[in-house]
Structure 1
Amino acid sequence: MIGIFVALAISWLLLYLIEKKNIFALGFLPLGKKLKQFLIGFLITGILCILAQYLESYLKSSTWILNKNITSEIILKSFWWDFKSVLREELIFRGALLYILIQKIGSRKSILISAIAFGIYHWFSYGVLGNVMAMILVFIGTGLMGYAWAWAFSKTKSIMLPFGLHLGWNFFYNTIFSKGPLGELVLISTGGIELIGWTSLLNFVSGLVIVPIFVLIYVKYFVKEKRELKLTTE
C-alpha cells in the first residue's frame, strides 16, 4: 500500500511541476462514467482470460476443479493483492508519465514508448532476464497488451479503462485460474498432457498474441476518443 501512496504522490508532483495539473488530470472523474469504463474493461479481459484458459484446457485435455480450501476471505485478499499491484503499475505506465508524454510528443510516440517500457519491465517482474527466448515471448505479450492499455488511456483521457482492462485479466488469471504467484486459489487444473508442437504454439499465440489483438480491436472500434484533454473539468 505504501508503494501506491508513493506512486500517487510522485504522479501528483510531476503533474503539478510540469503541467500545472493535479492528480485528477488522470481522469478519475466524473466517478460514475469512469466506473462504467472500469467495469467494462474488467469484464472484457475477464471473459478473454476465461476463453484463453479453457482453450488451454481443451488442448491439454485437462479439467478445472474448484479448490475445496478456497474461502471468500482468501478471494478478497487475493483480489486486494491484484488491485494494489495493478494500480501501482497503471500509475507508473499509464499515469502521469504517459499523460505528460502525450502533451509533449503526441499520442502515437507516447503509446509506443509506454508499451516498450511495459514489455521490458516484465523481463524483471517475470524473472526471465538472460533467457533470450523467454524475453522475446514476454516482450511480445506484455508489450502488445501494454500498447492496448496505453491506447485506451489516450482515447479516453482517463486511467480508469486501462485499469479495468488490466485488473480484469490479472484477477481472473491469478485468482480464478491460479496462474499467479499466490498459488492455488479458486480453480485448479488437473490431469492433461504436456503441450508440444503446434498445440504448444497455438496455446502461446492465443494467450500472448490473440488476446491483446482482441483488446486492440475493442479499443480501436468501440472506444470513443475524447478530443479535449481537460480531464478535471468535465
Structure 2
Amino acid sequence: MDILNWLVDPENWSGAGSIPFQALMHLMYSAVSLLVAAAIAVPLGVFVGHTGRGESLIMGSVNAMRALPTLGLLILLVLLIAPTIANNLAFVIPALIVLVLLAVPPILSGVASGIRAIDHSVIDAARGMGYSTLQIVLRIEIPCALPLTLSGVRGATLQVVSTATVAAYVSLDGLGRFIIDGRAGNDYAQMAGGSLVLAVLAIVLELGFALLGRTLVSPGLTRRAVRAPIPPALDTETRALRVA
C-alpha cells in the first residue's frame, strides 16, 4: 500500500522532480544515446555486412564493449572529464558515452547480421539488372535487413532505458533519482515506485517497437504474408495443389 500511496500522491506528479519530469529526462538521455549509437553502428554494420571486411576486428571490438562495467566506467569518465569542464556537462557527457557504448553492439550486430542473411542470388540478380553498389545497399540490403536491424535497435533501447538509471549516481535527473534518493532516505516505497515506473516505461517501449516492426517491415520479409484466397470454381485437385 505504501507503494500505491507514493504513486498516487499528487506531489509526485507535478513540478520539478516529479514522475513525469524524471521520466522525460530519462527518455531524453536514452534517445540522445540511441541516436548517437545508431549514427555510429549503422554505417559500420552496413560496411561489415556488405563487404565482409574487418568483421573479426570490428565485431570483436564492439562485442568487447558488452563486458565493460557500466558504473565503474561512468565514475572513471567523470573523474577524467570533470576537471576540464566546470558545468553540468561534466556529468552529462560521461553518462551519454557509457550509454552509447552500451547501445552500439546490438545495433551493429543487427544491421550486419541482417545484411549477411540476404540470399546471395538476390544480390547477384540486382547486379545483373545493372544496380550500382549504392543502389544495392539502399534499395535491397538495408530494406531486407530491416527486421534484424529493428530487433537490434529494440534490444539496445531496452538496455539503455534500463541502464540509464546509473545517471543518478552522478547527480543527474532520471528515474534513477527515485532509487538513489529513496535508498539514501530509507524510503522503500519511493525506490519500489521508481522501479515500477521504469518497468512500465520499458514495457511500453517494447510494445511500441513491436508495433513499429509490424508497420515498417514488409510482410514478405516475415511470416505475416497471407495466401491469396482460392476461387470456389477451382476443382479439388487444383485447390489441393494451391494449398500445398
Same fold flag (TM > 0.5): no
* Structure with the greater alpha carbon radius of gyration: 2
Which TM-score band (shorter chain)? 0.3 to 0.5
Bigger share in helix: 2
Which structure has more relative contact order (CA 8 Å, sep 6+)? It is: 1
Q: TM-score, normalised by structure 2?
A: 0.32
Q: TM-score, normalised by structure 1?
A: 0.33
